[in-house]
Structure 1
Amino acid sequence: MIDLSGHSPGMLYALSATSIGQPWTVGGYPGSLNLAKEALGLVTCSDIAQAWILTEPGAPTQIPDELLESLGGDLDRDYELVATWNSENYVAASRVQMLWKPLRSIIEASDACGKARSVGLR
């Protein structure tokens, strides 16, 4: 799973998911997006193609969708929203987290990832 919320590393484990790239994709800091891109640059396109996505729109720690674009993906086009829930945030108001599953075949998504990497979208 790729956590774009930027602050919910425990949620992946509660969902019995495996975080790819790094154990916790930290957001909200200068360089967070670049760190996430570099970490996922070490992951195979096949693993990226199979990864589900966790988002939290509007969160100050949110990793921008640009991360998926750098991997050849588009959240609205290539993923289906399968669940939502309220995230209790002790610093700010509760926000909605969203879980997305990949729609493309592993081959199609892997090819798109490889093409994005080859043209330097990282």
Structure 2
Amino acid sequence: ACANPHFQVSGVGAYVKPITPVYDGDTSFALGFLNRNNKANEVEFKLKNMGLVNPRGYVVKDLWNNSPAMQLYPDHALRIIVPSTGAAMFRAELIKPNRFVEKNQMLDLLTNRVPAGF
């Protein structure tokens, strides 16, 4: 028997598990969706409602279909069709922080040192 889903919409349960990679304590996620209905269901789950709240966003990839990855942010929704009595599985990989700009602000420092008229 499956554990209870973290979230449920129209009979489709969503299961969320933190995975690697991890950047600055923020994790990527595995997302599983289980449809217990006898018909396919189109559902959408807002990322922030599933705990995916990092403002840098996530690269979301369907692990079972050869569809292109999507770049999604916490306010975006993942809209999927889950087959009857079937499942779907996604990987939401945290977008790696740009440490050069975010941490050190080196671009600003370098820009301010360029001589006038250069």
Q: TM-score, normalised by structure 2?
A: 0.29
Bigger strand share? 2
Bigger helix share? 1
